[in-house]
């Protein structure tokens, strides 16, 4: 019966863009503006967002080619399965699931905690434990709202996206009215000394890339998209461009009204900005909208992440329970509940160092290896239908690979150590599981999955004309 269950194609391009953007925006800029300014030591922080956007656009081409050629639930999981299975079996897909199963809840929980931090505007004396409890409650509410059909989910995502856009319009509009270029571009004397700038840029990019993460959420939902061959490339590229413009306007506008040294020390920069501009009422309105935006990020992030273990479980790479679809609502409810449950636990931890480490894990296990996967598939599957092809291949791939390597090295020795340890542990778990089952590489080298070219793409995935 499980094999007969299918997801429904109900999500169009506009809805896919709203899902991506909602996941990208979230708490990100409202938390990281002070952090990036502090890390880079001044208004030169804007270069962190610019370079971060360029890296996201280059990487977005890789996601677009792979996602449009291999549309399905799971995104990177499918790409790794197609590229590496004949050499290393399910090792790479398993390591991807291993990293994402923990990295995604931790990353999303940062949005829930960011939301809870803004609650302090209403309850200044709230304790640390109470803040974490609010973050956990936010996660539970998001799970409850996702417990429905895809058509209802997309309607909610559009409403949340609209609230996010309103938040951005108010902040950007206010910054235009109060903008002072002398404040916005008051660079300190040593701002562009090469050694200091490059070091700060790497750390700043780590934070700015965190703000852009989510541009690929639609690629995780290929079986639920209308015309995925068109929807995936368009939703990824447009989401990155829109969010890059929004982030730059918000960052330049903020330090063009609040001196950067003061902004660097703020823990709720959005509330401070609007309170200073329009008084307590302004701060109240924007705080409510920022909470709305943070919740949109948590909601859409859980939506995309819950589809990853589901697809792996369908292929027997992950635990069978994750392949279960709700009998009436047709969504992977077990996967949603497990990832949501892990996220609830994550809300009670200090995330700063851990998120950096898990970002490092994603860079090594997902982003950099995915670039290799694209090149492997270009050679291995030259006849595979590719509705979108990377422009000027392989130049964007090479630059993106170097960029991810730069960010990884800049994440710090502690994060690198944790990333390596977690990946090695995942490899050990895979080997033990394979040894016990006796049907996984390297213990059963003869086992193979269905060849990619034997799985015809639907008409909805045909080449863009």
**pLDDT at residue 445, rounded to an integer:** 62
Coil, helix or strand for 4?
A: helix
SS3 content of the chain, % helix, strand, coil (to 5): 75, 0, 25
Q: Is residue 322 within 8 Å of 310, Cβ to Cβ?
A: yes
Number of C-beta neighbours around residue 4 at 10 A: 6
CB neighbour class for 162 (10 Å; exposed up to 12, middle 13-18, buried from 19):
middle
**pLDDT at residue 454, rounded to an integer:** 41
Residue 332, both tokens: 């992977």
Report the distance separating Cα 99 and Cα 104, nearest Å. 8
Residue 349, both tokens: 């931890």
In 148-268, where does DSSP find H-type helix? 150-177, 181-184, 194-212, 228-255, 260-263
Q: Is residue 56 within 8 Å of 212, Cβ to Cβ?
A: yes
Coil, helix or strand for 225?
A: strand
Residue whose structure tokens are 């019966």 = 1
Q: Is residue 30 within 8 Å of 294, Cβ to Cβ?
A: yes
Residue 296, both tokens: 């949109």
Backbone angles phi, psi at 380, to 5 degrees: -80, -35
**pLDDT at residue 459, rounded to an integer:** 44
Report the distance separating Cα 206 and Cα 245, nearest Å. 18
Report the distance separating Cα 231 and Cα 234, nearest Å. 5
Report the distance separating Cα 416 and Cα 364, nearest Å. 10
Coil, helix or strand for 447?
A: coil
Report the distance separating Cα 47 and Cα 53, nearest Å. 10
Domains along the chain with CATH numbers: 14-446 (1.20.1740.10)
Residue whose structure tokens are 């290896």 = 369
Residue of 72, 65, 74 whose CA lies nearest to 464: 65
Beta bridge partners of 73: 221
Report the distance separating Cα 413 and Cα 290, nearest Å. 33
- The one-digit pLDDT tens for each residue of the chain (465 residues) are 444 456 667 788 888 998 888 778 766 777 788 888 888 888 888 888 899 999 999 999 999 999 999 987 678 888 998 999 888 888 998 898 888 777 888 778 888 888 888 888 898 888 888 989 999 999 999 888 887 765 566 677 677 778 878 888 888 899 889 999 988 899 988 888 888 788 788 878 878 888 888 899 888 888 888 888 899 999 999 999 999 998 888 888 888 999 988 888 887 888 889 999 999 999 999 899 888 888 877 887 787 777 778 877 887 887 778 888 877 777 788 888 888 998 898 888 875 666 677 778 888 889 999 999 999 999 999 999 999 999 999 999 999 999 999 888 887 788 888 888 889 998 998 898 888 887 778 887 655 444 444 444 444 444 333
**pLDDT at residue 447, rounded to an integer:** 55
Q: Is residue 225 within 8 Å of 8, Cβ to Cβ?
A: no
Q: What is the pTM of this model?
A: 0.80
Q: How many residues does the chain have?
A: 465
């Amino acid at each position: 019966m499980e094999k007969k269950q299918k997801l429904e194609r109900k999500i169009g391009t506009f809805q896919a863009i709203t899902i991506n953007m909602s996941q990208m925006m979230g708490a990100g800029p409202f938390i990281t503006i002070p952090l990036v300014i502090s890390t880079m030591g001044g208004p030169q922080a804007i270069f962190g967002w610019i370079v971060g956007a360029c890296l996201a656009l280059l990487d977005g081409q890789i996601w677009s080619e792979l996602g449009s050629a291999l549309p399905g639930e799971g995104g990177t999981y499918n790409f790794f399965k197609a590229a590496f299975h004949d050499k290393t079996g399910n090792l790479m897909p398993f390591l991807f699931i291993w990293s994402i199963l923990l990295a995604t809840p931790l990353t999303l929980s940062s949005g829930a905690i960011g939301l809870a931090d803004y609650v302090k505007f209403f309850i200044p004396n709230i304790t640390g434990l109470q803040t974490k409890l609010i973050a956990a409650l936010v996660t539970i509410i998001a799970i409850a709202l996702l417990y429905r059909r895809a058509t209802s989910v997309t309607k909610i995502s559009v409403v949340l996206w609209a609230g996010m856009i309103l938040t951005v319009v108010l902040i950007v509009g206010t910054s235009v009215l109060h903008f002072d270029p002398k404040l916005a571009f008051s660079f300190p004397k040593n701002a562009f000394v090469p050694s200091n700038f490059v070091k700060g840029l790497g750390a700043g990019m780590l934070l700015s890339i965190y703000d852009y993460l989510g541009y690929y959420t639609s690629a995780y939902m290929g079986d639920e998209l209308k015309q995925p061959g068109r929807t995936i490339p368009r939703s990824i590229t447009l989401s990155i461009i829109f969010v890059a413009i929004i982030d730059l306007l918000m960052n330049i506008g903020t330090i063009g009204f609040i001196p950067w040294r003061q902004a660097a020390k703020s823990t709720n920069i959005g509330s401070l900005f609007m309170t200073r501009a329009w008084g307590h009422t302004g701060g109240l309105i924007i705080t409510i909208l920022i909470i709305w935006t943070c919740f949109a990020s948590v909601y859409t992030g859980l939506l995309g992440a819950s589809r990853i273990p589901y697809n792996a479980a369908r292929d027997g790479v992950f635990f069978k329970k994750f392949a279960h679809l709700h009998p009436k609502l047709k969504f992977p409810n077990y996967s949603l509940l497990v990832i949501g449950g892990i996220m609830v636990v994550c809300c009670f931890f200090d995330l700063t160092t851990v998120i950096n480490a898990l970002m490092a894990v994603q860079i090594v296990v997902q982003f950099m290896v995915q670039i290799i996967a694209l090149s492997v598939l270009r050679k291995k599957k030259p006849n595979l239908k590719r509705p979108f092809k990377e422009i000027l291949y392989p130049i964007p791939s090479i630059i993106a690979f170097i960029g991810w390597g730069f960010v990884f090295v800049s994440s710090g020795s502690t994060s690198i150590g944790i990333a390596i340890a977690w990946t090695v542990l995942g490899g050990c778990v895979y080997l033990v599981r394979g040894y016990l089952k006796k049907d996984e590489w390297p213990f059963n080298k003869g086992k193979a999955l269905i060849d990619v070219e034997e799985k015809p793409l639907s008409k909805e995935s045909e080449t863009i004309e």
